[in-house]
Chain A
Amino acid sequence: MTIKDIFETMDYGPAPESPDQALDWIRNHDGRFGLFINGSFTTPRADFESRNPATGELLAQLTTANGDDVDEAVTAARRAFGPWARRSGHERARYLYALARLLQKNARLFAVLETLDNGKPIRESRDIDVPLAARHFYYHAGMAQLMESELPDRVPLGVAGQIIPWNFPLLMLSWKIAPAIAMGNTVVLKPAEYTSLSALLFAEICQQAGLPKGVVNIVTGAGDVGELIVAHEDIDKIAFTGSTEVGRRIREATAGSGKALTLELGGKSPYIVFEDADLDSAIEGLVDAIWFNQGQVCCAGSRLLVQEGIAEDFYTRLKARMSKLRVGDPLDKSIDIGTLVDPVQHETVSHMVAQGGAEGEVFHAPCQLPNQGCYYPPTLVTGLTPSAMLMQEEIFGPVLCATTFRTQAEALAIANNTRYGLAASIWSENLNRALDVAPQLVAGVVWVNAANLFDAAAGFGGMRESGFGREGGWEGLAAYTAPRLKQKNLKPIPPQSTPKDAHAGGLDRTAKMYIGGRQTRPDSGYSRAIWSAKGALLGHVGQGSRKDVRNAVEAARKAASGWASTSGALRAQILYYIGENLSARTDEFSRRINDLTGGKDGKREVETAISRLFTYAAWADKYDGRAHSVPIRGVALAMHQPVGVIAALSADEAPLLGLVSLMAPAIAMGNACVLAASEPFPLAATDFYQVLETSDVPAGVVNILTGQHADMAETMARHMDVDACWSFSSTDISGLVEHASASNLKRTWVNNARARDWYSSAGEGREFLMAATEVQNIWIPWGE
């Protein structure tokens, strides 16, 4: 084309970024890469290929790690862990800083390599992925520096196995590695098999930074290598980002192993446009929400919810905008949408749209697509109902699914009508509305009048089946640290044995369950006698069954939203009141505890329980969120939201204190709870509901069951309407709880058969508050 021609057509023309340097880098390695273990690369094997999805061309031959390789990597990481963790925070900070600087110095090489390997537009890898990755190392260099002063009571977990996806290869690597090594952990990381190259380049950066051997190990391969990592006995923590399906399998595989686990999984995030929004900006926001990275984004705004009155106008404008999107060579600087990562992914997306599109109207943007490569056009499906397959299932492609709503309440109902809970966008010029809606959305991240804003200073992560744990911000450090605890092994505590000459003295007392604010007989109709240490019959308790758990959860769910919306001040008042009423019955409870356990510590236990109630009364209005300093004109508010319904199995050894230690933080933070009483000594808990009844605790906020922990734990952990399950039982049911929790990926907190000193500071405080809350980051840009 001559200048004269272009003067008439005013076309953009090609603006290619050169792949030469990145290809040279691959060539310098003879196009073959080994694994990065203990600071050096292993001899490469040509086990699998990495191809450029835009052209299908072979980029490199890669090595699949086998069992021995993974063993070696873990061994190297284990050896490196002690010295690395013992280094001062400042020393670690220097290494993280060096990595950040090296990422920046090689920014263009990383960006081009990423685009070649993944197919994402160079604009994104250059302006988003790589800068955010460097930022993550800078930010966590600071966290390493501050760890000793700001987190004096927390220690690293050990060796972390990290498995990352192909959609943001380098960025997800940085989200995993930076916080882990900042806090003193060492890592074995596996990149996705489609996109290993930027991780291997990063390995070289680690060498250049002089990072001690074994602190970072990178093993390549497909899912089976991930399985080796997940199953490895000498790994202390698994961090996974990827599909919900695989996340569920990892939850099951790690159950009972004692490994810590964080999961960042799929999403079907709502993008809500109210009639008072800046519509053109909301449409532009969709470009960032669903056509960013070809829609292969876990937090993509893939469900468009538009207020009915503006829907037609909005769709018309949106289609016009879509027609302007440029799809093509990812290395072209004027391209909006590159290629899907692999033919397999293209097939999946095409199939889903072909299958579900008929439930609505499908609009493919009339964009020119290149003849070869895994390109898929920007697509809008309107007229869908919430029940449509495309509104429920994650597509992971450039496909936007739309429906309409009438009112704010309806928008919320549709938005939350999903198994996922990762992110959400709200578009409205009315701040009252936006800030009202945001905390009611089940989403770990909410963007007001924006989409897909990320920064190392703000936590990212999901609720429900979008996983658990946060990456970024202060809240993200919990994923790589644990409280400094001295714990002993916990042996099962049996009930007092039935005396040979049982004598039932006095009036019969059968303790009931406490469900929905009422004393309820066990559904099973069975009960069990509880004897004192001296052989006296203290009473009978019901044998809790599936149905009792069901009823209790139902009652808790009913109470949860009302309780969550009460003020911290009110919850504090109620907790104080419980303490006051318990105090009035100190003697009675002390006797009861001594009778049950045969010990003499009853009074101390009651006094400690009262103190514990005061602790959480104190915390109820003081567990503040944070206003994260993110690089926008605005703020990211990290709000502590209640988890929802928490089912918990109380410690057996401290019949009253164990129960109170779980109940108090749960309700202080606005949760409703279902509590299983101490299995051998349940009567302190059943006495306790009388205290609750006189303390203004709303019906259903606290529910108390008695019975065998193992039975109830299974039902609790599998229950889809339970948001978290905790176990401090002396019966070793940690594995059972974790395994069953995979049903809806509820949060779990289990004792792994280790005893906690409920009388000490280990029995209360931030660890409990953290478990009782979800951090929801609400991004609020401003400016008039």
Chain B
Amino acid sequence: MPSETKSVSARSGSVQLPQVHETRNAGQPLDMDWVMRAEANTSAINRRVGTLTGRRSLKKAHQAAWLLRAITMIDLTTLSGDDTPGRVRRLCAKARQPVRPDILQALGMEGQQITTGAICVYHEMVPTAVAALAGTAIPVAAVSTGFPAGLSPYRLRVAEIGESVKAGASEIDIVISRRHVLTGDWHALYDEVCEFRAACGDAHMKTILATGELGSLRNVARASLVCMMAGADFIKTSTGKESVNATLPVSLVMVRAIREYHARTGHRVGYKPAGGISKAKDALTYLALIKEELGDRWLRPDLFRFGASSLLGDIERQLEHHATGAYSASYRHAIG
């Protein structure tokens, strides 16, 4: 087992990154016996996630605290063709101050430096984001490797990672070649992700499986394992561009894979559901799922992120409700 969590110093540097606290997932040789052993029974998985909200309930202060924690784990994201530096700077400002100070004060959270987990942008926006977040601990994540389809020339996909790292991104969200999964070419997937990881250097790598395009939960389970063996720091569901993005069944399969990988290698790999999570209530369900299946250690931004753009707004409204007792309205919260 690698060394356990190192002491968490004050918010200096990029504390959200797993490699700050954890020995980074070193990966391991591709173990095809293990990969092929992985099964995922869809109906049982649906039953588990279907009853989860009925099994765990959060009230009052607990709900507020969890929602604040959720904010610290949001990768505040803009991935649009019409992104401009101005738009990205606005988003970064929101990342620095995601909740109105008076609400934080009412909740007794003043001085807690609540920020989002990261800002997630396309490569071209990385320098703007890095500059806008200077002086904070908020990392900049760049989507990469021919995001979202991952079908640009392989050489260019690898090179893209290097460019983004050079531009200051400390997290790289890569996309895998879905065709390797769909054709069962696990070796090719492993080699690809290994090379991406090498290209990331010190930046940490989130591996986007695009689960909505993998055909079955079994494929999700196996692809998760292969990516972790290849050194992924995080595994992530979706680009947000597939027709089906993060779902609870997919999440259950992926976090179970993370748990098994941890049990067998000692490495904690992070999890990022992305796309489609826009309600505070959904966020709580995800966090309960993580707490149940992986444990409290994963309820920190170095091991869990939401890939979301509109989730924050709903959480802000709920928090104001907690603070005042009155239901809130979106216009009362600054947009990003």
Contact = CB atoms under 8 A, between A and B. Distances in A.
Contacts of A317: 263
A282 B45 CA distance: 10
B84 interface: no
B43 A333 contact: no
Contacts of B54: 123, 126-127, 333
A278 interface: yes
A67 interface: no
A284 interface: yes
A4 B40 contact: no
A7 B42 CA distance: 34
Interface in B278-322: 287, 291-292, 296, 299
A3 B42 contact: no
Contacts, number: 106
Interface residues of B, number: 40
Query: Which of B42, B64, B65 has most A Cβ within 10 Å?
Result: B65
A1 B107 CA distance: 12
A13 interface: yes
B153 interface: no
Contacts of A279: 39
B80 to A, nearest CB: 32
Nearest to A783: B42
A10 B43 contact: no
Query: Which of A13, A123, A450 has most B Cβ within 10 Å?
Result: A13
B59 A13 contact: yes
Interface string B53-82: 011111111101110110000000000000
Interface string A88-99: 000000000000
A429 interface: yes
B51 A278 contact: no
Contact of B41 (A2, A281, A633): A281
Contacts of A4: 65, 108-109, 112
B55 A281 contact: no
B112 A281 contact: no
Contacts of B48: 281, 284
Contact of A278 (B41, B108, B112): B41
A336 interface: yes
A285 B44 contact: yes
Interface string B68-102: 11000000000000000000000000000000000
Contacts of A6: 61-62, 65-66
Nearest to A281: B44
Contacts of B40: 278, 281
Contact of A429 (B41, B112, B260): B41
Contact of A7 (B60, B69, B216): B69
Contacts of A280: 256, 260
A778 to B, nearest CB: 14
Interface string B250-261: 000000100010
A632 interface: yes
A449 B40 CA distance: 11
Given A127-B51, A284-B44, A334-B55, A3 B39 contact: no
Interface in A1-28: 1-7, 9-15
B62 A11 contact: yes
Contacts of B66: 6, 10
Chain A contact patch, size range:
35 or more
A277 interface: yes
Nearest to B55: A123
A336 B57 CA distance: 12
Contacts of A5: 65
A433 to B, nearest CB: 13
Interface in A104-144: 123, 126-127
A15 B292 contact: no
A667 B267 CA distance: 62
Contact of B296 (A10, A288, A429): A10
Interface in B18-63: 39-48, 51, 54-62
A765 to B, nearest CB: 38
A511 B47 CA distance: 63
Contacts of A783: 42-43, 46
A276 interface: yes
B68 A10 contact: no
A334 B271 CA distance: 24
A334 B52 CA distance: 10
Given A2-B108, A7-B109, A280-B256, A781 B65 contact: no
A10 B291 contact: yes
A491 interface: no
A15 B61 contact: no
A124 B292 CA distance: 18
Interface in A316-344: 316-317, 324, 333-334, 336
A319 B110 CA distance: 40
Contacts of B57: 12, 15, 333-334
Contacts of B60: 13
A634 interface: yes
B44 A7 contact: no
A7 B43 contact: no
A3 B256 contact: no
Contacts of A3: 61, 64-65, 68, 107-109
Contacts of B51: 127
A68 interface: no
B41 A449 contact: yes
A450 B68 contact: no
B44 A12 contact: no
B60 to A, nearest CB: 8
Contacts of A632: 43
A12 B56 contact: yes
Given A276-B39, A281-B40, A281-B48, 8 more contacts: A12-B57, A12-B58, A13-B58, A127-B54, A285-B44, A334-B58, A633-B43, A783-B43
Which 7 pairs across A and B sit closest by C-beta, in order of nearness?
A: A6-B65, A13-B62, A781-B43, A281-B44, A15-B57, A333-B57, A278-B41
Interface of B: 39-48, 51, 54-62, 64-66, 68-69, 107-109, 112, 216-218, 256, 260, 263, 287, 291-292, 296, 299
27 contacts: A2-B108, A3-B108, A4-B65, A7-B65, A7-B68, A11-B62, A12-B56, A12-B58, A13-B58, A14-B59, A15-B59, A126-B54, A127-B54, A276-B39, A278-B40, A278-B44, A281-B40, A284-B47, A316-B263, A333-B57, A334-B56, A334-B58, A429-B39, A633-B43, A633-B46, A781-B44, A784-B42
